[in-house]
Amino acid sequence: MNTQLWIACLLGAAAGLIVGQLIFNSPFVGILLGLGLGALVGAATGPRRE
C-alpha cells in the first residue's frame, strides 16, 4: 500500500473523530466516515500505474 493512502486514511480518521463527536455525538461513526473519505483521497492522489 502506498504512503499517500496511509497518511490520508490516518488524517481522515483523526478529522472524522472530531467531526463525529461534534456533529453525530458518536466518534465511531465519524471514524468510519473519515476512513472512507481518507481512502478515497489517498487513492486519488496515489501514484498512477501505466
Q: What is the pTM of this model?
A: 0.76
In this predicted structure, what is the pLDDT of residue 42? 80
What is the torsional sign of CA 33, 34, 35, 37? Answer: positive
pLDDT tens, N- to C-terminus, the chain (50 residues): 578 778 888 888 888 888 888 887 888 888 888 888 888 888 887 676 66
In this predicted structure, what is the pLDDT of residue 13? 86
In this predicted structure, what is the pLDDT of residue 24? 79
Could you write out the three-class secondary structure of the chain?
CCHHHHHHHHHHHHHHHHHHHHHHCCHHHHHHHHHHHHHHHHHHHCCCCC
